Structure 1
Amino acid sequence: MLSSRQDKATRRYFWFGIIGAALFIILQILPSASGIFGQTEQGQPVSREQALESASTFAQQRFHALPQNSRAVHQADRQMTGYLAKEKLIKTFDSGAGRKVPVDLWQVTQNFEDGRRVIVDIGMTTGRVVGWQQLLGPAGGEMQTMELQGPDLDKAVQQEADSLGLGLLKRIDGDENTGSSVRYEATAITISEARLLVTAAGESSAAGSLLTGFQPQYEAPAAYNAYTEEQDRIGASLSLFGNLLPSGILLILAVIYAIVMRRYTSFRRGWALSLVFLTFYAINNFNMLDGLRALYGHEVNSELVVTAQLVFMMIMTVIMALSAYFSLVAGDGLWRAQGRILWTAGSEPSYGSEAWSSMKLAYVFTFIILGLQTIILGGLSVATGAWSTTDVTQSPYNTAAMWLIPLLAWCAAIQEEAVYRLFGTGLLMKWLKNPFIAALIPNIIWALGHVTYPIYPSTTRLIELTIIGMLFSFIFLRYGFFTAVFTHAIMNTVLMSVSLFLSGQPLELLAGVVYIFAPVAVAWLMRRYGAKRSAQPYAPV
C-alpha cells in the first residue's frame, strides 16, 4: 500500500530533512534577515504612506500645489543592483553613495488639477526626495514658459546636487543644450567602474526658473551592461523555444490523449484542482499590478499599458488552467493504462490515507530539497560567479496585499506537476519506456521556463532546476502525485513566506505561519473526505 511506503520513507528521510533545514536556515534565511543577501540599503524601509507624505510635501514646496491623487510603487535600479552583487560591492555602496542616492526607491506618481503629472523618487529607507521628473506639463494656462538652458540650468542643477551632497556636477552632453534634458556626471561619486549621472531639465518664465526634472541614476560599466543584455537575449530565446513552444505542444497532446485515454480515466478528474489554480493565479495577477506600474511608470499612458498587460495575463492564465486540466485527465489515463495508479481518486479506498501520508513525507522532502538547493546555488556561485538582481514586477512591496503572495505557491505546484510530471513524464514513458529520459526531457522544458528570472548567467536556473526537477520526478514516480504536489507547494510556500517574516508586520507574520501549516489542514480535509466516501473501486468512463 502506497501510504505504508510513504510512512516508512518519512521515518527514513527525517534526519536528512533536519540537515537540509539547518543548511537552508543558516545559509539563506539568516543572511537575508541580517540584510546581507539581496538588500542594498541598511535599515527598514519607510512605509508607503510615509513616502506619499514626503512626496506631497515636496510638491507643495516645489509647485505650490498638492496632488489630486498619487500612487507609490517600489522601483529599483536593476542594472546597478546586479553590478553591486556581482562585484561584491554592496557593503561599500551602503556606507557611501547609497546613503545619498539609493538603488531602491519609492516611486510616487502625482496627478495635479492642472493636468501636470510628476514622478517623485523617495529613498526607500531614508524617506528623502532624491529626484523627480515632470512627465506631463500643465494642460493650459496663461503662463508661457521656455526651456531653461545654458548656465542658468547648470546653476539650478548644481544647487539641487549640493542639497543632496552629490558634489560637483560636470555637464557631459556638450556646452549647449540640444534637447529637452541635459546629463551631468557627479564626479565625486564613483563605485568601482560605475558612475552617477544626473538627467535634468527646467523651464523659465516671468515668475522665475524651475527645474522640471532632476533624476540621479547610476550607470553600470558598459561591459557589464552588454553582458547582461546578451544574457537576457539568450534567456528569452531559451524560454521561447525551450519552454513556451514545447509547453504549447504538450497542451495540444494533452487534449488529444485526454480523449484517447478516456476509457482509463474521467473528464470529471482535475476540474477542482484546475479551478483552484485559475482562482489563485487570477488573484495574484491583480495583486501584482503595482509591479507592472513600476515597470511602465514612465510611460505617458502607463495605466492603459498596464490594463493591456493585465488582459494578456488573464488570457494566459486561462490557457494555463486548461493546460493543467487536460494534463491531469490525460496524465491519469496514461499512467493507469500502463498499470500504475499515481494519482488516487477520491472514490478509491486509499485516497484519504495516501493524502495524509503524502503531506507528512512532503514536509521532509521539502527541507531536503531546500538544503540541496542551497548547496547547488552556492556551488554555481563559486563555479560560474552567479549573481542575482532585482525584479520590481515580483517585489513584495509592489503587492496590494503582501500576505497573498504564497497563494502562487499552490499555482506552481498544481500546474507544473500536472503538465511536466503527471502528463509529460507519463507520455514519454508510453513512447520511450525509459524512466530517466521520460523524466529528464519534461524537467528540462520546465527548467527553461525559469531562465528569464533575474539571475546571471541565464543558464544558472536551468542547471539548478533540472536537478531539482529530477528530484520531484523521483518523488512523483515513487511516492505518487499527492506527494509531489505537496512537496512543490510547501517548498514554494516556505520560500515565498520569507518576505512575510522579514517584513516584521504582525499580519504578514501570522499569514506566513498559516501558509506553511496550511497543507496539514488540506490533507486533513482530504482524509475526512476519503473516509466518508464509500470504499468502492474507481470506475472509469
Structure 2
Amino acid sequence: MQRKRSEPSLLLLAVLGLIMYLGVIFISPFMEGADRLDENNIDKPSVTKQQAADAALKFAESRFRLSSDVETSTLYQSYTTRSGYLQKEHLYDDYLKKYGKRFPLDYYEVEINDRASGMNYFIAVNYNTLAVIGFERNKPAAAKTNSVSPSETNLTKLLEQTIAEMGYNPAAFVVEQDSSANGSFMFKSKSESIGDAKLALVMKVESGQTTAFRPAFSIPGSYGEWKNAQDDKSALMTRISMLVSLMMTIVAIWIVIRYRKEIGFSKGLILTLLFLAVYIVNNFNMMPAFRTTHGSGPTEAGAIFYLWFVNIFVFLMGLSTYFTLSAGRHMWLDHGWSAWPVWKDQIFGDHVRTAMIRGYMLCLFLLGLQQVMLFTAGEAFDVWAVSDPADSVYNMVYPALFPLMAWAAAISEEAVYRLFGIALFLKLTRNRFLAVLLPSVIWAASHTQYPIYPVYTRLVEVTVIGLIFGWAFLRYGFLTVIFAHAAMDSILMGLSLMYMGEPLQVLTGIVYLAVPALIGWLLSWLHRTYSGGRYRPVPR
C-alpha cells in the first residue's frame, strides 16, 4: 500500500486546529455557561490538605473523645448530584452567588481513624476557609448500640443545640423527617432553597450525642430518575464495548495461534510492557481516589481490595494489547503494508521522528476540533459535566505522574481499535469507511462513563475523533496515531496539572507538553547511533 509522504494537508489541519482552539478560548468568556464542560473549572483549594486535616482533628477532639493514636487522610470530594441538578436546571451560577461560600460544591473530606477505640470519623472541611461543614462518626461493628435511648427527653434541645453550634438558626428550620428508631433526623429550612431543592440539615443521634451532621439540598426525585436512566445507558454502552472488545481479542488470539510460525512474538512485547508499567504505577498513584466512594467505616481496606482487582483487569488489558499488536501487524503485512516499522527496519529511526511530527500536527487539529465540539454541545445542546473526585488530580499521591497515562491509553487503544480493529472490520465488511467507523464507535462507547451529560455526548465526540485517527492510521501508519494520541492526552493531562496553580505542578505540566517530542527525537537518535549501520532515511 503506497503512502504519500508530503505533509501540507496535516500542516493545514494543524493551523486550522490552533485557530479553532484559540477561537473557542477567546469567545468563551462572552458566552453564558460556556465553561459547563470544563471539568477543571472548579474553585481551586486555597488551603493545604494538611491544614484541613489539622482543622478537622481539632474539631473532632473538641466534640468527641479521641485517643492519642489517630491517623488522618484527606481527600478532595464533590457534591456531584447537587452540581448536576444545578447545571441541568441552569441554576449553577445563581447557586454560586447565593450559597457558594457557605455550601461549596467541592470540599475536603478528612478521614480520622482512632486506632485505640476503633472509631472512624469523616469531617467535611471548606477548602477555602477551613470551616467544618459536616461530620460523621462511625463505631466499629462490634460496638454498635441502639441509636436513641427511649428514655431521652431532651432530644429536641440536643438537636437544636447542634444546629446552633454548626452556625445555623434553629428557628429557621422545621422537622421534616423523624426516624427516631434509627436516630436519623432531617430539618428543612423554612426559606432557603435553590430551584426546587430546599436546604436541609441531616443529623444522627446515638446514646444522647449527635454523631452526624450534614447540610444538604433535597434534590427533586425527577432529577434522580433522569440521572439514573442516563447512568444505566452509559453502563449498557460500556458493557457492549467491553463485550465486543473481548470478542476482538479472542479473534486476535486465534490469529496469533493460527499464524504463529509467521508472527514475530517479540514485536509487541516492549509496547505491552510499557503499557502495563505505566498503568500499574498509575493505579497505585490513584489509591486516594479509590477511597472517595465509600460507605461508613474505614476506607483503606476497600481501596486496597479495589486496587488489586483493577490490577488484575489491567493485566488482562495488557494481554489484549499484546495479541492485537501481533495480530494487527500480521494482517497488514498480508495486505502488503508494514503499518508499524520495528527497530531492525532500516527506516525505523526516521519514521519515528516523522511520526512524532505528524502526530503533533494531527494532535493540534484534534484539540481544536474537540474544543469546538464541546463548546457547541454546551451552547446548543445543553450538555454539561460535573467534577469527578474518583478521577481528580487532587486525589493522587503524586499528581505529576498522571500524564504518563497518556502513553498507556495511546498504546492500548490504538492497538485494539486502529491497528487490529480496522484490519479486522476491513476483512469482515470489505468497506474501508465501515472498517474505520465500527471500531471507532466501539471505542467511543467505552468513554461514556465520564461524568458528562447527556451520556450520548462522548459517544458522538469520541467517534468523530476515532474516524480521524482511523484516517491518519491508514494514511500515515500506526506510530503516527500513537504519537498523536499520546500528545493529545499529554497536553490535556498536563493542563490539568497547570490548573492546580501550584508552581511545581505548572512547571511539570509544561514539561509534559513536550514529552512526546522528546521521546520521538530520542528514539530516532538512538536508532541512528546504535542500529549497527542499518539506518536509512525514508525516501521523500
Give me the TM-score of the superposition, normalised by structure 1.
0.90
Partner of 1:238: 237
Query: Do residues 344 (structure 1) and 344 (structure 2) align?
Result: no
Distance 1:173 1:231 in 2: 29
Do the aligned partners of residues 23 and 158 (structure 1) sit closer, same or farther apart at CA in structure 2, a change above 3 Å counting?
farther
Shift in Å, 1:510 = 1.9
Q: Report the equivalent of 1:52.
A: 53
2:135 pairs, out of 121, 129, 132, with 132
CA displacement, residues 224-269 of structure 1 (integer Å, 9 cap, x when unaligned): 111000111111111112x110111111111111233445541110
Q: How far off its partner does 1:345 sit?
A: 1.5
Write the distance in 1 (CA, Å) between the matches of 2:210 and 2:518.
58
Is 1:379 matched with 2:376? yes
**Larger mean Cα displacement after TM superposition, 69-78 or 408-417:** 69-78
Alignment of 1:18-167 (within 5 A): 18-23=18-23, 25-26=25-26, 37-38=38-39, 42=43, 44-65=45-66, 68-112=70-114, 113-136=116-139, 147=149, 152-167=154-169
Letter in 1 for 2:250: I
3-state SS of 1:360 partner: helix
State which drifts further: 450-459 or 149-158.
149-158
CA 177–499 in structure 1, closer or farther in 2 if over 3 Å, else same? same
Letter in 1 for 2:19: I
| RMSD of aligned Cα (Å) | 2.8
| 2:325–2:415 contact (8 Å) kept in structure 1 | yes
What percent identity do the matched residue pairs reach?
A: 31
Cα distance in 1 for partners of 2:513, 2:30 equals 18
Residues paired across the two proteins, number: 527
CA deviations 1:292-346 (Å, max 9, x no partner) are 21102x3436333222211110011001111111111110000010111211111
**Residue 415 (structure 1) aligns with:** 412
| 1:31-59 Cα distance to aligned partner (Å, 9 max, x none) | 9xx98744786563421111101101102
Structure 2 unaligned runs (5+)?
A: none
SS in 2 for 1:99: coil
Q: What letter corresponds to residue 92 of structure 1 in structure 2?
A: D
Residue among 519, 523, 533 paired with 2:520: 523
Q: Which residue of 1 aligns with 2:173?
A: 169
Please say if 1:17 is aligned against 2:20. Answer: no
The one-letter amino acid paired with 1:240 is R
The match for 1:192 among 191, 195, 200 is 195
Distance 1:144 1:77, change over 3 A: closer
Using a 3 Å threshold, how does the CA distance of structure 1 residues 14 and 235 change in structure 2: closer, same or farther? closer
Compute the displacement of 1:501 (Å): 0.5
- Contact between 2:147 and 2:182, CA under 8 Å: does it hold in 1? no
Tell me the SS of whatever aligns to 1:172: strand
Partner residue of 1:225?
A: 224
- On the 8 A contact 1:110/1:117 being kept in 2, the answer is yes
AA at the equivalent of 1:221? P
> Which residue of the partner structure matches residue 289 of structure 2?
291
CA contact (8 A) 2:111 2:121 kept: yes
Unaligned ranges ≥5, structure 1 = none
Distance 1:404 1:200 in 2: 40
AA in 2 matched with 1:458: V
Give the AA of the match of 1:213: A
Matched residue of 1:96: which SS?
helix
Deviation string 1:443-501 (CA, Å, 9 cap, x unpaired) is: 11100101111111111111111111101111111111111011111111111122210
TM-score normalised by structure 2 residue count: 0.90
Structure-2 change in CA distance of 1:43 and 1:95 (3 Å):
farther
How many Å apart are 1:30 and its aligned residue? 11
Comparing 131-140 and 495-504, the one that deviates more: 131-140
Q: 2:245 aligns to what? A: 247
CA drift at 1:144 = 11
Distance change >3 Å, CA 59–CA 106, structure 1 → 2:
same
* Shift of residue 196, structure 1, vs aligned partner: 2.4
The equivalent residue for 1:212 is 211
- Structure 2 CA distance for partners of 1:146 and 1:526, relative to 1, 3 Å: same
Query: What CA distance in whole angstroms lies between the structure 2 residues aligned with 1:461 and 1:229?
Result: 17
Could you tell me whether the CA contact under 8 Å between 1:148 and 1:201 is conserved in 2? no
Instruction: Give the 3 Å change call, closer, same or farther, for CA 2–525 of structure 1 in structure 2.
Output: farther
Q: Is the 8 A contact 1:110 1:118 kept in 2?
A: yes
